[in-house]
Structure 1
Amino acid sequence: MSPRNQKNNRPLKDTTTDFFLKIIEKEKDQTSKDTSSKESVNEKKVKAIDTGARFYNYMNQLLDKILSSKVSITILSFVMAAVLFYSVSGKDILTSPTSGATLENVPVYVENLDDSLEASGIPESVSVVLVGPSLDIYKTNFSRDYQVYLDLQDLDEGDYVLNLRTRNFPESLQVVSIPSSIKVTLAKKVTRTFDLGYRFINEDQLDSKYSVSVNQMDLDTVELRASEETLSRVETVEACIDVSDKTEDFEQNARIRAYDSNGEELNVEMSPESVHVTCQVSSYSKTVPIHVNLVGNLPTGYQVSQYTLSQSEVTIFGLEEQLNEIQQVEVDVDITDLKSSTTMTNLALKKIAGINKFSQDAIDVSVEIEKVITKKFDNIPIKVLNNSRDYKVSFAGQGQNASVSVTGTEDKINTLKVDNIQATIDIDGLDVGTHQVNVKIAGDDETLTMKLLSSSKVTINIERN
C-alpha cells in the first residue's frame, strides 16, 4: 500500500468531545483545589482561635500574678503614671517652642573677695527666671549644675551696686536673677578679743537624771576678726559643748561660736576655732522655790495687784556641795509701761553659779494690773521699839502721831484701816536724854505703796521710870 493510502487510513478523532473532556477535567481539578483551600482556611481559623484562647488564658494568669504582688503593682502604677504624664504634658515638653519657669532659693556664691574685707548685703539665695525651649528648661531643672555668683575682683572698701551673674545655663535660655543687682558694702576687718563662755548643746539627748558642769576650759578669751559693725553686734562668744548621751566625766574639743543679742550665730573669723574642755557629770539634784523680781516701773496710777506663776518650784541639778548653798531661783518679770493684766510666757530662769541645769528652763507668769488710788491716813500712833530698859519715852510737841499716804487698788484701800499701818521709832542703844530719831512706816500688804507725810524725824525725851 502506498504511503498516500496509509495516511488516509489513520483513525479520525472527535475534536469536540476532547474539548469538553478537558473542561470537565479542569473543573474537577479546580474543585479539588477549592476543597483543599477551604480545608486549609478552616484549619488556620481553628489554630488562630486556639492560639487566641491560649494567649487569653496566659494573660489572665499573668495579671493574677501581678495583682498578687505589691512590687508588681508598684511597678505597674509607675509605668501607668509615666504614660499618663507623657500623654498630658510630654508633648508640650518636647515640642513647645517657648516656655517659662522660676527657680527658687538658688544659692549665691561670692568669688574673689579680698581676705582683708568683709562683704555685707549679699543675700544667701535668689530666684531665677528662665525663658526658652521647654525641653531645655526641663533639663535644667533636673541637672542642678547651674550657679548664681558675685564677682568682687579688685574691689576695695566701700559701697557698690553690683550685678549678679549666672553660669552653666543652656545658651538657648534667657536667664534673669531676681534681684538682678544688689547693694554690697565692703568693710575692713579688725581683730578684737572677747571673753569666752560656754553653752551645752544636745541637752535633750542627755538623760534627765544627769547634769554636766565644766571643770576646766583651756582658754578664757578668743580673738574675733570681722568688720567693726559686725563685732559691735557680738553679745557672747561661747564654746558649744556636746552633752548627748553623757553618763560619766569627759573631755572634748568644743567648737567656738559668736552670737548676737537674739541668740543668732554671727559669721566671723575666730582664733582659735575650738577649745579643749574638761567636764564632770553629776546626778545630784534638789527642788527650790522660784522668786519673782518685778523689773521696771508701771505708769502713774497703776499697780500690780498680784501675780501667778505656772509653777512655784523647780528642780536644779549640779554638784551637791554647790547646790547646798542655793535656796531659791529667780525670774525677772518686766512690767515697764503695763496698763492691763497680761501673761508673759517662756520667761527664762536665772542660772547662777553652781546650777548645771533646770528641770524646766522657763516658766509663765500672769500679772494682774489694776488702777490705783491714794488715801491719806492721819493720827497713826508711833510705837517705840527695843525699849529693853523700860524707859519712859515722851514725844516733843505733837510728834507722837504720824500721817501716811497709801497708794493701792481701790478695793484694798477701801478696806485698809489705821491698825494695818505701823509707824515706829527704834531707841536701841539710846541713853537717858533728848534725842532725834527716824520714823519708819510699814504695812501688812506689800503690794501697797506707803509714804510718810509727817516729819521723818521726831524729838523724844528718855527718862528713867
Structure 2
Amino acid sequence: MDKFFENNTAMKGIAFLIALMLWMIVTLDQEGTAPIRQTEEQLTIDNVQVEAVYDEDQYALMEMDETVQVVLTGRRSLLNLITLRQDAYRLYVDLTELGAGEHRVPVQHEGFPEDVRVTIIPSSVYVVLEKKESRTFPVRIDFSGQLPEGYEAGKPLVSPGEVEVIGPTSVLEQVASVRGVFNLERLGRSGKQEVTLKAYNHQGQELEVEIKPEVVEVTVPVQSPSAMVPVNIELINELPEGLSLVGIHPGTDEVEVFAPQNVLDQLGEISTTLDLSTIDESKTVTLDIALGDHWTAVKPKQIEVFVEVEPVREQLYSNVPVEVRGLASGYEVSFKSPADGKLQLAVKGSEQRLKTLKQSDLKVWIDAKGLREGDHRLPVSVDLPGDLTASPRPSEVEVRISSSKEAEKTMADVEEDEDENEDNKEGE
C-alpha cells in the first residue's frame, strides 16, 4: 500500500478523478438553479356546480341553472394542482340582497390561485326566488301490514294532531294531505309508534316542504276478544312479628283480559303476589296485574287490596285428642304419654279469628306410617287455617304399637295351617 501512494503516476490519476467530480457537481448545480420559463395553458372544466347563497328561512329557490363551464388559464403546475384539489374552490351566486321574483345574477368564485385567470361561461345565471309561508294541516295515518286474526285496529290517536307545513306559496297550494304510515305488524304492547310525516298532492305525489314536527307519536288501540278472569292473590313471606292476618279484601275479584280467543279459552285465573313482610298495619295496597303471553291489554292494570291485620293473641285449648294416621292394618296404638291421648294446644292469631275458631276445627295428629310393634316417640302435627299458628303441649307423644287380636288370630290360623301341611307330608 505504501508503494502505491509513493507512485507519482497513481497519485496524478487520483487527483484527476477528484477534479472531474468537482467539475461535474458545480456544473449540475448551476443547471439546476437556472430559471425555467413555463408557458401558460388552458384547462376547461364542465358542469361545475353553482351554490346559491340566500335566506333559506324566508325564501325558497324555485329555479336556477345549477352548473356552468369554467375555463382556467395559467401555468401547468397550478392547473394540475387545481385538478387534484377540486374541493379547494367553489362557484356561487349571492342572493341575500334579493327579494322574491326572477333575477339574473353574476356567478362569483373563490379559492383559485391568484396567478390563474378564471372565465365562467355563462357569467350569470337565471334564478327564481319565492317567499315561504306556513300553513297548518291535520295529520292522517295510513295502516300497513295486518294484525293477527281476531284483532281489529281502532281509530289512531295522533300527538300532535296538527302540524305546520312550511314552503313556497305555489307548493303549499298543492298540498292535499299530510300523512304517515303506521305498521300494524310492529305493533307493541303499548300500541305506540313514532311515525314520519310527508306531504302529498292530489295525485299522491310527494311534495318538497318542511313539516314541523316531522315525526309524531301515534297510538292505535287494538280491539280484540276479551273475558273477565278471576284474580288469585298469592301470599309471600311472613307478617312482621306480633301481627296476625285477619283478612284480605280485594276491591275487585276479576279483571278483563284482551287476547286471542284461543288464549282466553285456556286462561283459568290471573295471579298476583302480596308481600306480607311489607304490611305493618291494616291498610290498602296496590297490586300490579302483569300482562301474560299473547295478551294485548288488561283492565284494570292494578287492583287495590285492603289487608286487615291485628296484634297476635293466644288462646289455650285443653283435652284436644290426638288422631293417629297411617297405622298399618293389623296393629293398634296405645298412648303412654300422655296416657289419655289428649294434650293442650296454644293457638295464636287475631282476636277476631280466634273468636270464630271452634275446638272441632283443631286437627292434631301423629304419623304412624311404616311403624311396627314397639314403643315410639312421635312429633305432633297440627292442621289449622293458614292465618293461625299453633304450638302443641307437649310437642311429642309416646305410643306403643302392638298387634291387634285379629292379627294374633290371623297368625294362629296361619301356624295351624302350616302344622297341618307338615302332618300331611309325613303321612304321605
**TM-score, normalised by the number of residues in structure 2:** 0.38
Structure that is richer in strand per residue:
2
TM-score when normalising by structure 1: 0.35
